[in-house]
Amino acid sequence: MEDSDDDGILLSALKKKKGGNDGVEKPSGGGEVAENNVGKDAMVGAETVVDRVERNGKRVFEDAVDDDVPLLSLKKIRTGSSNAEPKKAAVVSNSVVKGTAQAKDVDDLPLSSLTKRKEPVLVKKKSLTLKRASVDGDLPPSSLAKKKSPGSPFKRAVSVNNDDDLPLSSLKKKRSSGLEQRKIVPLKNPSAPKKVIKIVKKLKPQSPLDRKDEPKIVSRKSNTPVKKKIVVRKAMPKPAGKANNHSLSKGKVSNSTAPSSVDIRKEEYVFVGGEEDGERRWWQENMDGNEQRWQNLSHHGVLFPPLYEPVRVPLIYNGEEIVLHPAAEEVAMFYAGKLTTDYVKKDVFNKNFFSDFKQTLRKNDRETFKRVKDFRKCNFSRMQEHLDAKKAEKKAIPAAERKKIREEEAERVKKYTVATVDGKEEKVGNFRIEPPALFLGRGEHPLMGKVKKRIWPEDITINIGPKDPVPECPIPGHKWGKVIHNKAVTWLAFWRDTITNGSKYVWLAADSKFKTVSDAAKFEKARKLHKHIEKIRKDYRRGWKSEDELVRQRSVALYLIDRLALRVGNEKGEDEADTVGCCSLRVEHLTFNDPDVVEFNFLGKDSIRYENSVKVERGAYLGLKKLARKKKSSDDIFNRLTTSSLNEYLRSLMEGLTAKVFRTYNASLTLDRLLRQEGQQQNVNEQLVFYNQQNKEVAILCNHQRSLPKKHDEQMGKLSVKHDETIEWLRELERAAKEMKAGRKDSADVTQWVHPKPELKSDMTEEQRSAERKRAAEAPREKVVKRMKADSVHLAIARVHARIDKMKSEMQTKEDLKTVALSTSKLNYLDPRISVAWCKKNEVPLEKVFSKSLYNKFAWAMEASQEFCF
DNA sequence: TTTCTTACTTAGAAATGAGGAT
DNA sequence: ATCCTCATTTCTAAGTAAGAAA
């Protein structure tokens, strides 16, 4: 039983992934991209379930992935993208998938192999595992276990790992506090309101770790069994034999992993890490309920963009040149600068722009205002040319001078880049006030094209320590709108956006204490969810059948949030693009395909399309279908449910739990589990390809898309040509080898076709050079014949094979990632300790995975041991 | 209640710059 | 060593979610 419970949990996690994947893949297509994908999908889609099964039988891994969960659609999608994927990746996903997938499928699949692999690693912790299992178990395990059972094998393996990670062993050592941290986390919870705080306090007295949440839960019926968790914790604290290894804690020596890597970071790391083995690192400090986030705060205010300098380049109206009033010229220039974008093709954009433009004319230049009546007669080309010329001018600046300018600018701006919080110097994130511009909303934003006005000091509220000097207002003759001393907030300055009336803030940078503490707390909260997830799932499954419609709506919605990683979906106003999240889904966004497939198609945040067809659990399917019945296509599916009631309910399940925690949880858990799959990566490069593949799975889960890079097709074409030429060379080498073998010769003539080298001369201008390069690249290849010895031919063959493999892998990766954005999940959803642990375990230098800024942002996570388990 | 406001996180595109291929 | 690519950084829009106000 216990084991199975564990498995259940794990599996569920896996499922999510799959679901997510499905979702992602499809979505990747938003707009045009989407269509492309669709095409692929369609092909794949042709594949039937049966096909898949068969595949499973043969190629266990790849197909397995598809199978599981969700879906059909997924399969389709995947096929498209995943075909190319390396087996390793496939394997991982498969396992995952299976777990996720419904029991039947899972069982069928041959998970065993995976399991085996993992188990060895896990070894030690069985005991821990058991504990955890028991914990989960105490909840009503049975039912869930059954459903999920399919995944069990896989899960098992996973679970074992979990135990290991338990956080801890390694953590314990160094930071004895590690454990505490966790505990603390809840307290920290940034969002945690006063109420939370109170709760926390109550809990504190309790033991260490755990579960402060439980007390709260009490009200709910089932919770009794809290204790178990405690048990788990105990286990953790132990010793940590393991710990030793990697954790080299202190930064210095540290990363055994990153031997070759940069040393600079170590220094930074040390700095950031602060205290030695300390009890408490700065990033562990509570954000507890303290309303006071700081005592002293000093900074230099904000930097305003330069004023507009009129250039008297005319607007051409109806064929005639009109030199505009400077204010109008500035606005017209904004439009001219957008001429190459798709915005100018949108009526709303043009209408909004022209309306604001005329208003500016009316205020400043009555004559022109009367004259300029028709937008279609406006010609901004002279202005566009002016902007282009200016850009070219800037580009032409010699490197040395450019560098100098840069440095001078940096010097000028320097004082704005830092702030001091309670004696610690911190970087400021965005000290530049946004310059006036045309508002560029995403998707079909009703306000796109309107003029975002210039912000003046009077529009700014400065927040600063009561004893700290008020920054000088940088624009003579002006003064700050307001100066306040609000210790409950972390912003340095504030203004109101002139388009949306929304608030804009100046914050500290991502590596500041304010930001990192809450970031760490976010991940700890997500980890905490892992301990409650089983119960939560059980609860919402029960809710699908509830008599109470509100309960049904909430339960079905939560299922979608959990399995598909949907956002909660707050209500939106009239003046915003029509996008939705879970709670705001409308009937028109879903299509039901009996018996249990739901197609989703809607625009989410940033008007990114979410398009996915998902095989959902029976209860959820029936529940959803029922909710859609008798409603118009424009009606909300979850009409009785609000995001705040949903969150209120979640809070009753776990302290601090909100809908967005599920995204973090699923994303991180998915990466953690996927990275545990063993692949055959040999060198660091292959490891990184593997890592990126798993990162991609998460990005797909979260539907993180990017637009198709402009030159993608062109670049793929080039790679393809290169690839073909390399193959051609390989064939020639093989032919020569054969010839030598047949003739028992030790050398042979080989023919190679090479591109002529460009003849660049030192007196050529840039233009001439590029023309020459182009000529050379397009010139017919020249035939070169050379005599090669047998040895070198064989050597060359081996090398060419390797090169071809690498090319294939690169092309595949490029194609796979063409519309997937990895950065968003890495930055916001993936617990960095997962990556740190993986790097240490696989001896991959951390800086290969984290850019410098990410490294700094995640400094708090760098001492995680390789045993860390999310 | 419900709506509005505030504070903070998450998001993709554009701008920039560092490194890789040749 | 040069040029171009591509990754990183910057920018600011668009979310979430809590608390205040209506």
Residue ranges of E strands in A228-365:
297-298, 315-317, 320-322
- Residues A857, A828: contact at Cβ < 8 Å? no
Q: What is the DSSP string of A731-799?
A: HHHHHHHHHHHHHT-SEEEEEEEEPPPP---TT--HHHHHHHHHHHHHSPPEEEEEEEEHHHHHHHHHH
- Of A781, A776, A399, nearest in space to A768 by CA: A776
b/e per residue A837-858 (b: at least 16 CB within 10 A): bbbbbbebbbbbbbeeebbbbb
To the question of pTM greater than 0.95 for the whole model, the response is no
A626 CB-to-strand C distance under 7 Å: no
A595 preceded by cis ω (within 30°)? Answer: yes
For residues A233 and A240, is the Cβ–Cβ distance under 8 A?
no
CB atoms within 10 A of CB A190: 17
Rounded distance, CA A589 to CA A613, Å?
11
A576 touches strand C (CB under 7 A): yes
Phi first, then psi, for residue A419 (nearest 5°) are: -135, 165
**Residue A352: its H or E element:** helix A347-364
Q: Which residues contact A70 (CB under 8 A, 6 or more apart)?
A: A18, A19, A22, A23, A100, A563, A612, A613, A614, A615, A616
Strands A461-463 vs A482-484: parallel, antiparallel or unpaired: parallel
User: Which A residues 284-343 have CB within 7 Å of strand B?
Assistant: 293, 341
Largest CA distance in chain A: 94
Query: What CA–CA distance (Å, rounded) separates A158 from A6?
Result: 9
Distance of A192 CA from C20 C1′ (whole Å): 17
User: Does A18 map to a domain?
Assistant: yes
Residue A252, phi then psi, degrees to nearest 5:
-55, -85
Identify any residues that bridge with A609 across adjacent strands, giving them in sequence order: A603
CA neighbours closer than 13 Å in the CB half-sphere of residue A495: 25
CATH number for A386: 1.10.10.41
SS (H, E, C) A828-854: HCCCHHHHHHHHHHHCCCHHHHCCHHH
Q: Is the CB of A853 under 7 A from strand C?
A: yes
- How many angstroms separate the Cα of A743 from the Cα of each of A470, A732, A738? 89, 16, 8
Residues 17-76 of A with CB under 7 A from strand B: none
For residue A473 the two structure tokens come to 């207002």
β-bridge partners, A157: none
A457 CA to C20 C1', in Å? 27
Closest nucleotide C1' to the C-alpha of A644: C17
> Based on the domain organization, do A303 and A442 belong to the same domain?
yes
Cβ atoms < 10 Å from Cβ of A710: 8
The three state secondary structure string of A410-439 is HHHHHHHHEEEECCEEEEECCCECCCCEEC
Q: Is A360 inside any structural domain?
A: yes
Three-class SS of residue A633?
Answer: coil
- Between CA A63 and C1' B19 the distance (Å) reads 38
Is residue A531 assigned to a domain?
no
Per-residue flag: A429 CB under 7 A of strand B: no
A706 beta carbon < 7 A from strand B?
Answer: yes
A607 contact to strand C (CB, 7 A limit):
yes
- Answer whether residue A217 is part of any domain: no
- Tokens encoding A134: 């028991």
Measure CA to C1' and name the residue nearest C16. A660
Which residue minimizes Cα–C1' distance to B10?
A: A828
Protein-nucleic contacts, chain A 690-719 to strand C, CB < 7 Å: 709, 711, 715
- Is the CB atom of residue A442 positioned under 7 angstroms from any atom of strand C? yes
**Cβ of residue A705 near strand B, that is under 7 Å?**
yes
Strand C closer than 7 A to residue A601 Cβ: no
Q: Which of the nucleotides lies closest to A491 (Cα–C1')?
A: B7
| Interatomic CA–C1' length for residue A622 and nucleotide C19, angstroms | 37
Q: Provide the domain count of chain A.
A: 3
**Which residues fall within 8 angstroms of residue A223, CB to CB, at 6 or more apart?**
A214, A217, A535
The helix/strand/coil state of A582 is: coil
Domain boundary among A816, A832, A859: A816
Separation in Å: B4 C1' and A647 CA: 19
Is the C-beta atom of A685 closer than 7 angstroms to strand B? no
Query: Residue A860 carries which DSSP code?
Result: G
> Which residues in range 242-301 of chain A are in contact with strand C, contact meaning CB within 7 A of any of its atoms?
none
pLDDT on residue A821: 94
Q: Rounded CA gap, A560 and A16, in Å?
A: 10
Q: Is A320 exposed, middle or buried (0-12, 13-18, 19+ CB in 10 A)?
A: exposed
- Which structure tokens are listed for A395? 């580009």
Burial class (CB in 10 A: 0-12, 13-18, 19+), A207: middle
3-state secondary structure of A274: coil
Tell me whether residue A353 is in a domain. Answer: yes
Phi, psi of A303 (to 5 degrees): -105, 125
Last residue of a domain, one of A168, A187, A218: A168
Instruction: Please say if A829 is a catalytic residue.
Output: yes
Minimum CA–C1' distance nucleotide for A828: B10
Could you list the residue range(s) of the whole structural domain that residue A764 is in? 712-816
Contact A596/A618 with Cβ under 8 angstroms?
yes
- β-pairing, A747-754 vs A782-789, is antiparallel
Q: What stretches in chain A show pLDDT beneath 70?
A: 1-290, 757-778
The tokens of A561 are what? 């949030």
Q: Look at residue A86 and tell me if it is in a domain.
A: yes
Closest nucleotide to residue A606 (Cα to C1')? C14
Q: Copy the structure tokens of residue A131.
A: 């504990």
Strand B contact at CB of residue A507, distance < 7 A: yes
CA–CA separation, A195 and A214 (whole Å): 15
Q: So what's the pLDDT on residue A402?
A: 84
Q: Name the protein residue, with chain letter, whose CA is nearest the C1' of B12.
A: A706
Helix/strand number for chain A, H first, E second: 35, 17
In Å, what is the separation between the CA of A606 and the C1' of B13?
11
For A229-280, the pLDDT digits (tens) are 222 222 222 222 222 222 222 222 222 222 222 221 122 222 223 333 333 3
Do A484 and A505 contact (CB within 8 A), yes or no?
no
A812's tokens? 């595949």
User: Is strand B within 7 Å of residue A664 (CB)?
Assistant: yes
Domain assignment present for residue A519? The answer is no
A704, with CB counted inside 10 A (0-12, 13-18, 19+), is: buried
* CB A110 within 8 Å of CB A60: yes
Task: Answer yes or no: is A408 CB < 7 A from strand C.
Answer: no
Checking each nucleotide's C1' against the CA of A827, the nearest proves to be: B10
**CA A823 / C1′ C12 distance in Å:** 17
CB-strand contact A440/C, under 7 Å: yes
Q: Residues of A from 743 to 782 whose C-beta is within 7 A of strand C: which are they?
A: 766, 769-770, 773
Helix axes A31-45, A2-28, angle to 10 degrees: 120
Q: Which of residues 517-576 of A touch strand B (CB under 7 A)?
A: 518-519, 522, 567
Q: Is the CB of A556 under 7 A from strand C?
A: no
The answer to whether the beta carbon of residue A206 comes closer than 7 angstroms to any atom of strand C is no
Sheet holding A590-593, edge to edge: A590-593, A597-603, A609-615
Separation of CA A86 and C1' B14 in angstroms?
A: 32
Helical packing angle, A60-67 and A87-100, nearest 10°: 40
Any strand B atom closer than 7 Å to A642 CB: yes
Helix or strand run (H / E) with residue A505: strand A503-506
Q: Give me the pLDDT at residue A156, please.
A: 22
Distance CA A580, CA A586 (A): 8
Is residue A16 located within the same domain as residue A159?
Answer: yes
Catalytic residue among A269, A559, A829, A855: A829
Q: How far is the CA of A827 from the C1' of C19 (A)?
A: 28
Distance from CA(A193) to C1'(C20), angstroms, rounded: 14
Chain C nucleotides near the protein (CB, 7 A): 2-19
User: Of A168, A198, A218, which one is at a domain's C-terminal end?
Assistant: A168
Q: Is the CB of A404 under 7 A from strand C?
A: no
**Closest C-alpha to A451, from A572, A328, A341:** A328
State the DSSP string of A15-70. Answer: HHHHHHHHHHHHHHTTHHHHHHHHHHHHHHHTS-HHHHHHHHHHSHHHHHHHHSTT
Task: Please provide the size of chain A in residues.
Answer: 870
